[in-house]
A and B are shown apart, each in its own frame.
Chain A
Amino acid sequence: DAGVTQSPTHLIKTRGQHVTLRCSPISGHKSVSWYQQVLGQGPQFIFQYYEKEERGRGNFPDRFSARQFPNYSSELNVNALLLGDSALYLCASSFLGVQANYGYTFGSGTRLTVV
């Protein structure tokens, strides 16, 4: 079975541009979460979606948005990119949303570099 897949794997953008990152959860998983991992730090929670609804939002500006599609895949959008948005963006899926106490399954991430 395929794990959590993310695309693209690497991306270089210019300040002020926007970017869309994509994630496909494990088959049967209905919850997708997004995390930002700045170099040398632990991941920080951005969003969680469950059954196509936003169930949680971290402390990120409104430039960050996301959505979940009927097939449970998800997109993370970031507008007006700043140099500080350079990071590894991780997607994680779980079967349930708020009951994800079995832990999440992560993808390999998208490395975003803003120049």
Chain B
Amino acid sequence: AQTVTQSQPEMSVQEAETVTLSCTYDTSESDYYLFWYKQPPSRQMILVIRQEAYKQQNATENRFSVNFQKAAKSFSLKISDSQLGDAAMYFCASLIQGAQKLVFGQGTRLTINP
């Protein structure tokens, strides 16, 4: 079975500082993808970053980067130079190659303090 766990219900950070959100997952498959989604109060899930499991290099998208530790089944998100607009719920999710569904974690609420 696929499971995704986010152990931090809430996190806060000062504007312009760096914050790391944690995520662990469990799967017996070897071909899968991992995602971080952002859900602001507008409710729309917005894709932040994706990582292919077969790639050793950590994905990066501007101020967002991941630390993908495949053996430990860990997939954390680092947000650098935090901005007020980064405040949202962040969800970690996994997708097995050939499967039809994303499996989400419980989410982490990120607050940015000015």
Min CB distance, A106 to chain B, in Å?
A: 4
Task: Please tell me which one of the listed residues B45, B98, B107 contacts residue A41 in the complex, with CB atoms under 8 A apart.
Answer: B107
| Given A33-B101, A45-B102, A58-B101; A105-B107 close (CB under 8 Å) | no
Whether B52 and A106, one on each chain, are in contact in the complex, defined by CB atoms closer than 8 angstroms, is no
In the complex, whether A56 has a CB less than 8 A from a CB of chain B is yes
Q: Is the CB of B103 within 8 A of A45?
A: yes
CB-contact partner of B101 in A3, A56, A88, under 8 A: A56
Q: Is the CB of B91 within 8 A of A42?
A: yes
Partner of B50, one of A42, A45, A99, A103: A103
A43 engages B44 (CB within 8 Å) = no
Q: Write the chain A residue with the least CB distance to B103.
A: A45
Knowing A41-B106, A41-B107, A103-B35, the reply to whether A108 touches B44 (Cβ < 8 A) is yes
B35 — nearest CB in chain A belongs to which residue? A103
Please tell me if A90 contacts chain B, counting CB pairs below 8 Å: yes
- Whether B30 is near chain A, meaning CB under 8 Å from some CB there, is no
B100 CB to closest chain A CB (Å) equals: 3
* A42-B91, A43-B104 as given contacts; A101 in contact with B33, CB under 8 Å: yes
* Residue contact B100 to A109, C-beta cutoff 8 Å: no
Q: Which residues of B contact A55 (CB under 8 A)?
A: 100
Contact A109 B43 (CB under 8 A): yes
CB-based contact B95/A101 at 8 Å: yes
Q: B99 contacts which chain A residues (CB < 8 A)?
A: 56, 98
**Complex: A111 Cα to B91 Cα, angstroms:** 19
Binding site for A on B (CB under 8 A): 4, 33, 35, 37, 42-47, 50, 52, 91, 93, 95, 97-107
